[in-house]
Structure 1
Amino acid sequence: MLDNADLGKLILRVTLGGLLLFHGIAKLFNGIGFIESQLASHHLPTVLAYGVYIGEIIAPLMVLLGYHTRIGALIIIFNMIVAIALVHGHQLLALSSNGGWALELQGFFLFNALALVFLGPGRYKLKS
């Protein structure tokens, strides 16, 4: 018999990990020059840009597969806080042209990762 809570956690993991993974794959193909420029504009070492591969590829895979899910979710939270601070800080209290929060996507990733930190992976996961 299916446990609805475990199925819900699986859906949350697949959604968060799957959607964020697309961002990481795009960076694999298109590079991280934009992130390097953002870091440089904040007087931070550009080598830190390579951390996006951990935050948008490794961590989403961990969440997606249910392998050390809470650690992967914490990495995603850190990744999103850095992204908001570097690029989107001026939009924190802004609305988009269609009336939604200007940071809906970033908020989705951040708060769903936070939910997974508290919920854990559920039953449907890789053994860890």
Structure 2
Amino acid sequence: MVKRLLLVNGPNLNLLGTREPQIYGHETLDDAVALAERVAAEEHVEIRAVQSNHEGVLIDAIHEARVDCAGIVINPGGLTHTSVVLRDALTGVGLPVVEVHVSNVHAREKFRHRSFVSDIATCVIAGAGIQGYEFAVRRLAALVR
């Protein structure tokens, strides 16, 4: 049976490629998801991708992952710095988590330096552009094997 990973993308990530390209680059969310899916196939895992600008939709997807996913790759977007309930959902499902950020959040505004996810994540990848999704999928696939 092929293992499945949930790929969660939070608010505003649907604007990748057009929102502040000097920070986030010109690649789109579709490019990031396609990269994750290609790498997942190489790693013999599947990806179920979800993006929403609504916190509850993301939490519902995380809860559903308990049933059929082996781990979660998450780019929480701005919820990284604000959402205790997102953190609680991630800890509540008991799956390994890899946190990914397109930009280097540590080289940006001070409020972006705090993450409610990092200390519960198995791995944190920041500043690698959408290639961070490749690293995240490879790492999580290795963890769930």
TM-score range, shorter chain: 0.3 to 0.5
Question: TM-score, with normalisation over the residues of structure 2?
Answer: 0.30
Return the TM-score normalized by structure 1. 0.33
**Greater strand fraction, Structure 1 or Structure 2:** 2
The structure with the largest alpha-carbon Rg is: 1
Higher helix proportion: 1
